[in-house]
Amino acid sequence: MTSTSPPAALRVGIVGTGGISRAHLPGWVEVGAELHCFSLSGAEEFAAASGATVHGSLEELLAAVDVVDVCTPTPAHPEIVRAALEAGKDVVSEKPIALDPAVARELADLAENVGRRLFPAHVVRFFPQYEAAKQALDAGKIGTPAVLRFERTGSLPDRPWYADESLSGGIVMDQMIHDIDQALWMAGPVEKVFAQQSIATSDTAVRTAHVVLTHTAGALSHCRGFWGPAGTAFRYTFDLAGDGGRLQYDSAGDPGIMFDTVASARQASGDGFLPDVTTLRDPYAAELVEFAATREAGTTPRVTAADGVRAVEVAAAALESLRTGRSIAC
């Protein structure tokens, strides 16, 4: 008689232990992962909160894990993703996987060539509201999609690199890429992009962008991003109109729990950088659980490296439109 030992825990190495790594933590805990981390700063604090083993170098971390979760600032994504894939690890990468579409494509190709997974963390695909809408669209509940609108509102994250467009890609590449991905997911490939951006002269942290997408299948999408003034609450909306119906959602109108003004003044509020997901199935956890489950089963997750590449391509076309004032074919 032989005894089966419990399956070995998935060994996950988190690289970069800033803000988003904390959002990833519950998902890895749910998966039962053995955690490792490496970061240029903050690794000890993260380890104290998570029980992760701290490594002194990326090489040391790569030698100790099965999966690498890239949570660094955007400019470092490509070199870490590349190193992890070359070391034969499956990779979760925060979005965007790279600012340059050519680099994003090269990383997706590398993953393909080494037979490893590259999972871009487009977490909005795991928000239950968007999930419900996507299922309804696929079931034909609104007929043929015609005009889609997506809005995302928050505050400029308080790390200085976000405000530097050469590092973060600005509001389009950092924030709006979520809604660009939603538009691609729901209405299919895009052939034309037009973008406009406005940055307040009196407070350059306050900025908005409008991106208009023309989908190959004929639908039109409007993505509107906003980094508002200090104190701006996180909010996201969509409005999906087709020839057979319409679906609308507004996170500000989701009053499962409503404090009155007296009570809400006494209530700690969110930071404006990330949405409050306490009343939802945690979408950050859901994406990592799906990553781990599809990795185990050898199946395709709902978001692939190719999806991450396409989102970067469309966002990059939007940035070119901002630079040139022209509508850009893509």
Partner 1 sequence: MLTAHPQDPAAPLKVALMSCAHTHAAAYAAQLRPRADVELVIADPDGFGDLQGEDVVGSYEEAWDAWPDGPDVIVVTSANAHHRDLVLEAARRGVHVLCEKPLATSVADAEKMVAACREAGVVLMTAFPVHFSPAVEALRSAIADGTLGEVIGLTGTNNGKLPAGRDWFTDVDLAGGGSLVDHTVHIAEILDSVFGAPTTVHAVANQILYADRAGEGAETGGLVTLTYDSGLVATIDCSWSQPADAPTWGGLRLQALGTGGQLQIDAFAQHVGGPGQWLPYGSDLDGLLLEAFLDAVRAGQAVDPTGEVGLRTVKIVAAAQESVRTGQPVALA
Identity at 105, one-letter amino acid code = R
CB of 108 closer than 8 Å to CB of 309: yes
Would you tell me which residues interact with partner 1 (CB under 8 A)? 144-147, 149, 151, 153, 192, 194, 196-203, 206-210, 212, 214, 218-220, 222, 224, 226, 228-229, 232, 239, 241-246, 325-327
In the complex, least distance from residue 259 CB atom to partner 1, rounded to whole angstroms: 20
Return the DSSP state at 257.
S
Nearest residue (CB) to partner 1, 51 versus 218: 218
Query: Alpha-carbon distance 270 to 234, whole Å?
Result: 8
Nearest residue (CB) to partner 1, 128 versus 245: 245
In the complex, least distance from residue 241 CB atom to partner 1, rounded to whole angstroms: 3
Nearest residue (CB) to partner 1, 74 versus 221: 221
Dihedral angle, C-alpha 43, 44, 50, 53, nearest 10 °: 80
In the complex, least distance from residue 185 CB atom to partner 1, rounded to whole angstroms: 18
In the complex, least distance from residue 217 CB atom to partner 1, rounded to whole angstroms: 9
In the complex, least distance from residue 108 CB atom to partner 1, rounded to whole angstroms: 29
CB of 144 closer than 8 Å to CB of 138: no
In the complex, least distance from residue 229 CB atom to partner 1, rounded to whole angstroms: 5
Nearest residue (CB) to partner 1, 119 versus 234: 234
Nearest residue (CB) to partner 1, 41 versus 327: 327
Q: How far is CA 255 from CA 251, 252, 259, in A?
A: 9, 8, 9
In the complex, least distance from residue 128 CB atom to partner 1, rounded to whole angstroms: 24
Dihedral angle, C-alpha 104, 105, 109, 112, nearest 10 °: 70
- Pinpoint the alpha helices (H) of the chain: 19-31, 43-50, 58-62, 77-86, 101-114, 128-138, 160-163, 165-168, 170-171, 177-187, 261-265, 283-297, 305-324
Nearest residue (CB) to partner 1, 202 versus 299: 202
- Structure token pair of residue 60: 């040391």
Non-local (6+) Cβ contacts of 45 within 8 A are: 17
Nearest residue (CB) to partner 1, 58 versus 220: 220
Cα angle value 20/171/251 (rounded, 5°) = 70
